[in-house]
């Protein structure tokens, strides 16, 4: 008896959602309105997200959740979220307001809908199911941002020694540091580090100093390797040291650090493979070696 009520409830829920989205789309086309400008300072609509969950829930978040949370500032919390989003390279498709809206929608409203279905349609949900929906829904934006952040960090760590080498060669060839950055950005086809260096150039064109634009990049990426690299460059620039020499030293140091990380990863891999070796591979080898002997022994006993 539970299954028909569950299917009825899901059908009513999907029908209501489809009606809501259709009416919202018609109103947007008639009145030429954009997505809620509370989320973006420029008022422009965000880019299409790579996450299907965000694409599906974004209209609901913009029209139902954001007006409710607009009155709450939450400056410190939003600042931390903003930094995480920028570190993950998702600033064009997600921001701190949408992040909080997703947490509220997925972590609170969907479990409330399940509870309402339980009350109205007498559907018996296990308690753990509602609790799991609440926890996973609240954690989904964080998981999405952290996953993107981890992938972006790995890409930056791979590109960093190569980029520093190009900067060193360009400065030693006679270009100034800004010209070297511009040359690297022009030559690199995509990549997170090239995007960040491009943002440094845009900040410089808007009037920021070299130290301010580099420190802003270090703040956005929130990586110890980038922070130390920027600190060395800013110090050398303030002291009037040769940027080319500093870049060459940094390149050698980064290559040594990458070699150290590779050695550490190799050591960790040997430790991680030890458990499956003991549990699966070693018993199979012992069975292949001693199996015929055991069978022969029992056969000769007969």
- Domains of the chain and CATH, by start: 2-125 (no CATH), 153-260 (1.20.81)
pLDDT value at residue 66: 81
Banded model confidence at residue 29, pLDDT cuts 50, 70, 90? very low
pLDDT value at residue 118: 67
44-86 tens-digit pLDDT: 566 777 877 788 888 878 877 887 777 777 888 888 998 899 8
The per-residue DSSP string of 115-158 comes to HHHHHHS-----HHHHHHHHHHHHHHHHHHHHHHHHHHHHHHHH
pLDDT value at residue 146: 92
Q: Cβ(247)–Cβ(161) under 8 Å?
A: no
Q: What angle do CA 211, 213, 215 make, to 5 degrees?
A: 65
- The yes-or-no verdict on residue 263 having pLDDT over 60 is yes
pLDDT value at residue 255: 79
């Amino acid at each position: 008896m539970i299954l028909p009520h569950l299917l009825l409830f899901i059908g009513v829920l999907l029908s209501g959602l489809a009606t809501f989205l259709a009416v919202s789309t018609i109103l947007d086309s008639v009145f030429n309105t954009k997505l809620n400008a509370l989320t973006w300072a420029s008022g422009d609509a965000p880019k299409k997200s790579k996450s299907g969950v965000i694409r599906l829930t974004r209209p609901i978040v913009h029209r139902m959740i954001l007006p409710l949370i607009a009155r709450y500032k939450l400056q410190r919390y939003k600042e931390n979220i903003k930094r995480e989003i920028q570190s993950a390279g998702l600033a064009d498709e997600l921001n701190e307001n949408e992040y909080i809206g997703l947490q509220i929608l997925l972590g609170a409203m969907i479990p409330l809908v399940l509870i309402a279905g339980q009350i109205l349609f007498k559907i018996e949900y296990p308690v753990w199911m509602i609790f799991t929906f609440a926890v996973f829904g609240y954690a989904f934006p964080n998981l999405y941002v952290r996953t993107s952040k981890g992938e972006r960090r790995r890409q930056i760590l791979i590109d960093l020694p190569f980029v520093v080498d190009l900067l060193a060669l360009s400065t030693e060839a006679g270009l100034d540091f800004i010209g070297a950055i511009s040359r690297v950005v022009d030559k690199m086809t995509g990549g997170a580090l090239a995007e960040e260096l491009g943002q440094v150039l845009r900040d410089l064109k808007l009037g920021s100093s070299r130290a301010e634009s580099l420190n802003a990049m270090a703040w956005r990426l929130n990586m110890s390797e980038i922070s130390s690299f920027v600190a060395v460059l800013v110090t050398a620039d303030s002291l009037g040291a040769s940027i080319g020499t500093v870049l060459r030293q940094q390149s050698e140091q980064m290559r040594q650090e990458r070699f150290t990380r590779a050695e550490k990863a190799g050591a960790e891999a040997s430790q991680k493979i030890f458990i499956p070796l003991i549990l699966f591979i070693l018993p199979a080898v012992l069975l292949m070696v001693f199996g015929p002997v055991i069978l022969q022994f029992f056969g000769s006993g007969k």
